[in-house]
Amino acid sequence: MAGLTLRARVVVTGLGPVSSIGIGVTAFRAALREGRSGISPIESFDAEGFPYRDAGEVKDFRPETYLTRLSPAAWGRSAQLAAAAARLAAADAGLPDDACADAGVVIGTTSGESQVVESLVAQQVAGGFAAMDPGTLRQFPAERLAAGVATELGLAGEVLTLATACSASNYAVGYAFDCVARGDADLMFAGGADSVCRWAQAGFHRLGALTESACRPFDKGRAGIITGEGGAVLLLENADHARARGARVYAEVLGYGVNCDARHMVAPDEDSIAACMRLAHQDADVKPDEIDYICAHGTGTPANDLVEARAVRQVFGERIPPVSSIKSMLGHTMGAASGFGAIATTLAIADGFLPPTINWTTQDDELPWIDPVPNVARPATVRIAQNDGFAFGGNNAITVFGAAR
Amino acid sequence: MSLVLTETPLAITSCGVVSPAGLGLEALERALRHGLETPAEPKESPDGYPPRPLWAIPDLGVAELLGRKGLRHVDRLTKLGLVACKLALEGAGEELDADARAHTGVVLATNTGSLTSMVEVGIDTLVQKKPYLVNPGNFPNVVTNACTGQIAIRNSLRAVNSVVSSGQAASLAAIRFARTAIEQGRASRLLVGGVEELSPAAAWGWHLSGALTEDAPIGEGCALFLVEDAEAVRSSGRTALAELLACEVAYQGLGTAREQGEGLRHCVERALERSGVSPGEVDAVCLSATNHWVRDQLEEWAVGEELGRPVPQVQVGEVLGELYSASGAMQVAALLARWREPARQPRIGLVTSMGEDGNVGCLVVREWR
């Protein structure tokens, strides 16, 4: 419990976004500021026969540009995205290659190496299980996401993949925060990765959760998600360690909250989400009226955004800070989603702006208290901000960041 | 580092085990002493199984254990988790009230959740008239946290709920996660453990990967432990089965086989040191990679080097088959099973892990007194 144990301060010193709106922190920041859309027609699989054929694919991703140790041929796409994101975060933090040896990594994911699994499934359909290719099989375990990062950066610390679906990056950031705060490590890479795949496109369509082309969170006409992909990794560092090496500090991780609805596999729960926000605030030792910005889970489904907006009202009362969803730009990047949220929140604090909710046209009368920062980024002083992540299974995780002190 | 660490031991107050030996610790103890009587065959599958020993869990009688309601869309892996959870919660002595359940969470090691569900949905996208005509009831099973979600829903467990996918060492990673979560107040109690199911996809995957020794059997199972802060248990005058002392992990992916062995050796050394246990006090070791080429010898070498003397082994992989992410949890269960026979002194066991991915780890377990 916060206050019962002595916790070291934890800061963010490196950012590594590999996204459909930009790769690397400079491109990603610029895209957030201009409200760029990363949604385009699907190319990673044959989308013939799917009613909706757009997704947030990272089409510019050339793994060999970023990876120095991993051979892309031997690793699945999700591991490549995670490793490239971590490589960018390490470079952004100014960490020399040999300074990472004691560091650990936590990568969150929804579907792990989904494209690898789909290759195996195709081999199985064509020739039975015996026809599966051993080289492809070696790439399939979900543990390979974190292992890919560790191999790329030469890490020898704690290396784990957390598969807690669409809040997985916040789980990863939270656990990494605990590891640094309790003194297990000075440096932890944390974030998430997922790849666009057929089964997600099919499954979300069947659940009625997909929209055709523009994802419009908090808009009256919102109709669902667009599937997306990417790798999002932050470097969390012990504050004293960062100071001693003269590192630039983007923001401080103040704390986080996690809980589980324990009611329904896919339907979100207002009271439980509100409880998670309170847990996060308590852990970070902040009051709701100190929070300047909420980087929403904001999937763009009618149910999620309504429930999230109501939970915000329940916790924040009369004074509700701006609430925007970067999923309007990226689509739903699944296990990477709250990692991108964490990066956007960190940049909002460090650079003084609110990322917009694009594609927004019409106020929803059911949630008039939400200011979604419509369409255009806004200059703002952001001292403390929260980053929401919710998931199938009722897994809620919310991280809280504050300005560097 | 600015903080001086003292490990926070976790007490195992109850456990639920489902293994090829059957339900519970007593069945496991029998198998550890005498081997499986007749290993159960997996249910026949049109896809067929590879030609190697396959040790399934004998008929679970799921309907009797879990009731019939709401299980239509629940896959086998999740059922294994639900049964182990039921055994663990029922074995806890007094029932957890609503408030206790609200502060109880789930941390489960598994590779990808149910591979069967994933493959089924994947096949549907290829063979159905339209690629999106997957079974909507099956789709939520595809997410790896389907099992922990169902455990939470059916038992109203509302604290941290997490899935750890770290391969062979995943159960030890889950135990570390659990310790940190309880110490940091993210939960008061946790169900922590590991689960894997035997399926054609998993069996063929192992068979073709070439990682396992020739006749190594593939098993399945789930071991879940109800854990909480050991001091809290002691100070309230309650009893427990065992204490989980230090659990040390490291990544050795880039290293040679020898370096991986050295990495594990260091983990054993650190885990003993941070537990305040000397090598001479260790009564039993339980290894993980006993079905794996090369790693079986490396693991035995690393533990032997650190302990400096032969220590009796509790064999799990040989007795129950390959359990992958669930191995570490089943190794802990195996120590508990062997400790059902009373001893004068509280016994101390080591559980080690060594994975293909480069993760290694060591956990120190002490019988409760």
Which residues 51-110 in chain B show a CB within 8 A of chain A? 105-106, 110
Q: Do A161 and B358 touch (CB under 8 A)?
A: no
**pLDDT over 50 (residue B118):** yes
Does residue B106 lie within any of the structural domains?
yes
Which of A128, A202, A393 lies nearest to residue B134, judging by beta carbons? A202
Q: Which of B94, B86, B51, B366 is nearest to B214 (CA)?
A: B51
Q: Which residues of chain A have pLDDT under 70?
A: 1-5
Q: How far apart are CA A255 and CA B244, in angstroms?
A: 26
Q: Is the domain of B165 the same as that of B66?
A: yes
B224–chain A nearest CA distance, Å: 18
Q: Which of A123, A38, A119, A134 is nearest to A337 (CA)?
A: A38
Which of B47, B130, B254 lies nearest to residue A129, judging by beta carbons? B47
Q: Do A118 and B127 touch (CB under 8 A)?
A: no
Q: Do A394 and B143 touch (CB under 8 A)?
A: no
Give exposure, B43-79, as e/b (b: 16+ Cβ within 10 Å).
eeeebebeebebbbbbebebeeebeeeebebbbbbbb
Q: Do A395 and B177 touch (CB under 8 A)?
A: no
Q: Do B166 and A143 touch (CB under 8 A)?
A: yes
Q: Is the domain of B311 the same as that of B225?
A: no
Which residues 163-202 in chain A show a CB within 8 A of chain B? 163-165, 171, 175, 178-179, 181-184, 186, 198-199, 201-202
At CA A15, angle to CA A14 and CA A20, rounded to 5? 165
With 0-12 / 13-18 / 19 or more C-beta atoms within 10 angstroms meaning exposed / middle / buried, residue A62 is exposed
Number of domains in chain B: 2
Q: Is the domain of B192 the same as that of B215?
A: yes
Which of B121, B126, B173 lies nearest to residue A203, judging by beta carbons? B121
Q: Which of B218, B227, B202 is nearest to B39 (CA)?
A: B218
CATH 3.40.47.10 in chain A: give the residue spans. Answer: 11-244, 256-402
Q: Is the domain of B169 the same as that of B66?
A: yes
First to last CA, chain A: 23
Among A64-73, A126-135, B130-139, B357-366, the range scoring the smallest mean pLDDT is: B130-139
B261–chain A nearest CA distance, Å: 14
With 0-12 / 13-18 / 19 or more C-beta atoms within 10 angstroms meaning exposed / middle / buried, residue B16 is buried
Q: Is the domain of B253 the same as that of B231?
A: no
Name the residues of A annotated as catalytic: 166, 297, 332
**pLDDT over 80 (residue B91):** yes
Q: Is the domain of B225 the same as that of B298?
A: no
At CA B279, angle to CA B273 and CA B282, rounded to 5? 110
**pLDDT over 70 (residue B157):** yes
Q: What pLDDT score was predicted for residue B253?
A: 82
Question: ipTM > 0.90?
Answer: yes
- Long-range CB contacts (within 8 A, 24+) of A94-100: A94/A14, A94/A247, A94/A248, A95/A14, A95/A187, A95/A235, A97/A153, A97/A154, A98/A154, A99/A187, A99/A245, A100/A153, A100/A154, A100/A155, A100/A187
From residue A16, alpha-carbon distances to A150, A174, B322 in Å are 15, 17, 37
- Find which of A188, A207, A243, A265 to mutate to test the B interface (most B CBs within 10 Å of its CB): A265
B5 touches chain A (CB under 8 A): yes
A135 touches chain B (CB under 8 A): no
Pick the last residue of a domain from B202, B235, B268: B235
pTM over 0.95: yes
Provide, as residue numbers in chain A, all residues whose Cβ is less than 8 Å from the Cβ of B357: 141, 143-144, 147
Does residue B112 lie within any of the structural domains?
yes
B223–chain A nearest CA distance, Å: 19
CA dihedral B256, B262, B267, B270 (to 10 degrees): -150
A23–chain B nearest CA distance, Å: 27
A205 touches chain B (CB under 8 A): yes
Residue with tokens 């467990």: B157
Q: How far apart are CA B225 and CA A288, in angstroms?
A: 37
Pick the last residue of a domain from B207, B235, B263: B235
Q: Is the domain of B200 the same as that of B338?
A: no
**pLDDT over 80 (residue B140):** no
Q: What pLDDT score was predicted for residue A3?
A: 41
Q: Do B359 and A50 touch (CB under 8 A)?
A: no
Does residue B2 lie within any of the structural domains?
no
Residue B78 belongs to domain spanning: 10-235
**CATH superfamily placement of domain A11-244:** Thiolase/Chalcone synthase (3.40.47.10)
Pick the last residue of a domain from B216, B235, B254: B235
Does residue B5 lie within any of the structural domains?
no
Does residue B1 lie within any of the structural domains?
no
From residue B100, alpha-carbon distances to B228, B308, B358 in Å are 11, 44, 38
Q: Please give the average per-residue pLDDT across B177-198, as a whole number.
A: 97
Q: How far apart are CA A173 and CA A234, in angstroms?
A: 8
Residue B23, strand partner residues: B18
Q: Is the domain of B254 the same as that of B361?
A: yes
Does residue B200 lie within any of the structural domains?
yes
Q: Is the domain of B187 the same as that of B272?
A: no
Class of A256-402 per CATH?
alpha beta
- Find which of B45, B127, B251 to mutate to test the A interface (most A CBs within 10 Å of its CB): B251
Does residue B108 lie within any of the structural domains?
yes
Q: What pLDDT score was predicted for residue B2?
A: 33
Say which CATH number the domain at B291 has: 3.40.47.10
Q: What is the pLDDT of residues B237-279, one digit of tens each?
A: 999 999 999 999 999 886 788 889 999 999 999 999 999 999 9
Q: Do B184 and A164 touch (CB under 8 A)?
A: no
Q: What is the pLDDT of residues A144-167, one digit of tens each?
A: 999 999 999 999 999 999 999 999
Q: Is the domain of B112 the same as that of B250?
A: no
Provide, as residue numbers in chain A, all residues whose Cβ is less than 8 Å from the Cβ of B355: 143
Does residue B3 lie within any of the structural domains?
no
Q: Is the domain of B218 the same as that of B338?
A: no
Q: Is the domain of B151 the same as that of B263?
A: no
Which of B123, B143, B153 lies nearest to residue A121, judging by beta carbons? B123
